Structure 1
Amino acid sequence: MKLFYLVALVAAVSGQLHPSRPARYQKLPSLRERARIQDVWRDERVSRIPSLLEKYNADAWLMSQREHAEDTIWWSIKNATDFGAHRRTILMFHRNTASLKGQPNPLIWIDNTGDVWPELRSILKAYDPNTIVLNTDRDIAFGSGLHVGELAVLEEQLGKQWMSRVTNEPHLSIEFVATRVDGQLHYYRKLQEIVWAMLEEGFSHRVIKPGLTTTEDLEWWFRERMQTLNVTTWNQPRISVIVESSFPGWEGTRNVIQEGDLLHIDYGITALGLNTDTQHMAYVLRTDPRMPENDAPESLKEGMKKSNRMQDIVLATMRPGLTGNEVLRLCLAQMEREGIEGQIFSHPIGDWGHDAGAVMGFTNLPKYVPVLGELTLLPDTYYSIELYAYHFVPERNETLRFRQEENAYWSKGTQSWRFVRGRQEKYHLIDGRERNTFIIQT
Structure 2
Amino acid sequence: MGVALALMASLLATELQAQDDAPAFAQGRVIGQVPAVLPQRERPPVINRLVEDRLDTLLPKLMRETGIDMWLVINREYAEDPVYFTLVPHPVHAARRTTMLVFHDRGEGQGVERLTVNRYPFGSMYESAWSGGNLDEQWQGLAELIADRDPARIGINVSETWPVADGLTSSLHQRLRSELGPELGERLVSAENLVVRWMESRSEAELQVYPHIVSIARAVIAEAFSEQVITPGATTTDEVAWYIAERFAALELPIWFMPYVNIQRAEFECGDNDPFCGRSNEVILPGDVLHTDVGVCYLLLCTDTQEMGYVLRPDETEVPAGLRRALAAGNRWQDLLTANFASGRTGNEILAATRDDCEREDLRCLTYTHPIGFNGHGVGPTIGMWDNQGPTPVRGDWKLSAHTAHSIEGSVRSPVDEWNGQDVAIKLEQDAVFDGEGVWYLAGRQTEWLVVR
- Work out whether the TM-score is over 0.5: yes
1:12-411 residue pairs with structure 2 within 5 A? 18-47=27-56, 48-96=58-106, 104-110=113-119, 113-242=135-264, 243=268, 244-245=270-271, 247=274, 253-287=280-314, 292-394=315-417, 395-411=419-435
Q: Deviations over 1:375-425 (max 9, x none)?
A: 01111121110010011234255323210011112347xx32111122111
Q: Which residues of structure 1 form unaligned runs of 5+?
A: 1-16, 432-442
Output the CA distance in 1 between the equivalents of 2:30 and 2:203: 28
Offset, 1:248:
5.7
Output the CA distance in 2 between the equivalents of 1:36 and 1:305: 42
Partner of 2:16: none
AA in 2 matched with 1:401? A
Change (3 A) 1:82 1:19: farther
Q: Deviations over 1:172-227 (max 9, x none)?
A: 11111111122223322222222222122211111111121111111110111112
TM-score, normalised with respect to structure 2: 0.84
SS in 2 for 1:195: helix
Change (3 A) 1:73 1:91: same
TM-score, normalised with respect to structure 1: 0.86
Higher relative contact order (CA 8 A, sep 6+): 1
Q: 2:28, 2:448 within 8 Å by CA — same for their partners in 1? A: no
Offset, 1:350:
1.0
Q: Deviations over 1:267-304 (max 9, x none)?
A: 022111111111001111222xxxx1122222222211
Output the CA distance in 2 between the equivalents of 1:207 and 1:18: 20
AA in 1 matched with 2:200? A
Output the CA distance in 2 between the equivalents of 1:40 and 1:325: 36
Output the CA distance in 2 between the equivalents of 1:357 and 1:102: 26
Partner of 1:435: none
Q: 2:303, 2:431 within 8 Å by CA — same for their partners in 1? A: yes
Q: Does 1:425 align with 2:447?
A: yes
Offset, 1:266:
0.4
AA in 2 matched with 1:270? C
AA in 2 matched with 1:70? E
Q: 2:259, 2:292 within 8 Å by CA — same for their partners in 1? A: yes
Q: 2:327, 2:426 within 8 Å by CA — same for their partners in 1? A: yes
Q: Deviations over 1:116-168 (max 9, x none)?
A: 11111111221111211111110112221112222222233323222211111
Offset, 1:324:
0.7
Aligned length: 407
Offset, 1:251:
10
Output the CA distance in 2 between the equivalents of 1:46 and 1:93: 10
Q: 1:24, 1:193 within 8 Å by CA — same for their partners in 2? A: no
AA in 2 matched with 1:121? A
AA in 1 matched with 2:283? V
Q: 1:247, 1:401 within 8 Å by CA — same for their partners in 2? A: no
Output the CA distance in 2 between the equivalents of 1:151 and 1:130: 18
Change (3 A) 1:370 1:250: farther
Output the CA distance in 2 between the equivalents of 1:19 and 1:267: 21
AA in 2 matched with 1:334? D
SS in 1 for 2:136: coil
Change (3 A) 1:64 1:313: same
Q: 2:40, 2:252 within 8 Å by CA — same for their partners in 1? A: no
Q: 2:404, 2:435 within 8 Å by CA — same for their partners in 1? A: no
Output the CA distance in 1 between the equivalents of 2:207 and 2:423: 38
Partner of 1:11: none
Output the CA distance in 2 between the equivalents of 1:374 and 1:127: 35
AA in 2 matched with 1:114? D
Output the CA distance in 1 between the equivalents of 2:370 and 2:178: 39
Q: Deviations over 1:295-345 (max 9, x none)?
A: 222222221111100111112111121111111111111111111111111
Runs of 4+ with deviation above 4 angstroms:
101-104, 245-252
Change (3 A) 1:23 1:335: farther
Output the CA distance in 1 between the equivalents of 2:112 and 2:365: 54
Percent sequence identity over matched residues? 28
